[in-house]
Structure 1
Amino acid sequence: MVPDGPFALHAGIATTRQLLSAMSYRTLVRRIRDGDVFRVLHGVYSLEPPDSACRLRALDLLLRDPVVACMNTAAQIYGFGTEPDSRTHILDPGVRVRSSPEIVVHQRIGAPLKKVDGRLLTAPSWTALEVARTLRRPRALATLDAALRSGTCTMIELENALMEQHGRRGIVRVRELLPHADARSESPMESEMRLVFIDGGLPAPELQYEIRDLHGQLWRVDFAWPDHRVAAEYDSVDWHSNSEAFKHDRMKIARLQEVGWVTVPAIVDDVRRYPAELCARIDLQFDRAA
Structure 2
Amino acid sequence: MSYRTLARRVRTGKVIRVWHGVYAQHPPSTIDRLAALDVLSGKSIVACMNTAAELYGFGTENGRRIHILDPGVRMRPVGELMVHQRIGAPLKRIQGRLATAPAWTAVELARSLRRPRALATLDAVLFKGLCTPTDLRATIDEQKGRRGIVKVRELMEYVDGRSESPMESEARLVFIDGGLPMPEVQYEIVDRCGKLWRVDFAWPDAMVVAEYESMEWHATPEALRHDRMKVARLQECGWMSIPLVVDDVRRHPLDLVARIAAHVDQAG
TM norm structure 2: 0.96
Q: What residue number does 2:262 align with?
A: 284
| Residue 157 of structure 1 pairs with residue 135 of structure 2 | yes
Select which of 158, 168, 190 maps to 1:190.
168
Q: After TM superposition, list the pairs within 5 Å mapping 1:1-290 onto structure 2.
A: 23-290=1-268
Deviations 1:230-270 (A, max 9, x none): 11111113334222222221221111111111111111121
**1:106 shift after superposition:** 0.7
Q: Residues of 1 paired with 2:264 and 2:70: CA distance?
A: 53
Residue in 2 aligned with 1:17? none
Q: Say if 1:117 and 1:248 are closer, same or farther in 2 by CA, change over 3 A.
A: closer
In 2, Cα distance between equivalents of 1:237 and 1:56: 32
Task: Work out the CA distance in 1 between the residues paired with 2:83 and 2:231.
Answer: 49
Inter-partner Cα distance in structure 2 for 1:81 and 1:117: 15
Which of these two proteins has the greater Rg computed from alpha carbons?
A: 1
In the alignment, residue 54 of structure 1 is paired with which amino acid?
A: D
CA-CA distance at 1:147 after TM superposition: 0.7
139 and 43 in structure 1: CA distance in 2 versus 1, 3 angstrom threshold? same
Question: Runs of 5+ in structure 1 lacking a partner?
Answer: 1-22
Name the residue aligned to 1:19. none
Amino acid across the alignment from 2:227: D
1:103-139: CA deviation from partner (whole Å, max 9, x where unpaired): 1101111111111132110111000011111111000
Q: Using the TM superposition, give the Cα deviation of residue 87 of structure 1 relative to its aligned residue in structure 2, in angstroms.
A: 0.7
Which region of structure 1 is more displaced relative to structure 2, 235-244 or 175-184? 235-244
- Whether the aligned pair in 2 keeps the contact of 1:92 and 1:106 (CA below 8 Å) is yes
Query: Alignment partner of 2:59: what SS?
Result: coil
Contact map agreement 1:112 1:122 (CA 8 A) in 2: yes
SS of residue paired to 1:36: coil
Q: Count residues in correspondence.
A: 268
Letter in structure 1 aligned against 2:236: E
Taking the aligned partners of 1:244 and 1:28, their CA distance within structure 2 comes to 47
**Inter-partner Cα distance in structure 2 for 1:117 and 1:242:** 34
Superposed CA offset, 1:45-73 (max 9, x none): 11112342222101111212101100000
User: 2:41 touches 2:75 (CA, 8 Å); kept in 1?
Assistant: no
* C-alpha RMSD over aligned residues: 1.3
Residue 209 of structure 1 aligns to a residue whose secondary structure is: strand
Structure 1 length normalisation: TM-score?
0.89
Report the 3-state secondary structure (helix = DSSP H, G, I; strand = E; otherwise coil) of the residue aligned with 1:202.
coil
* Cα pair 1:68 1:90 within 8 Å, conserved: yes
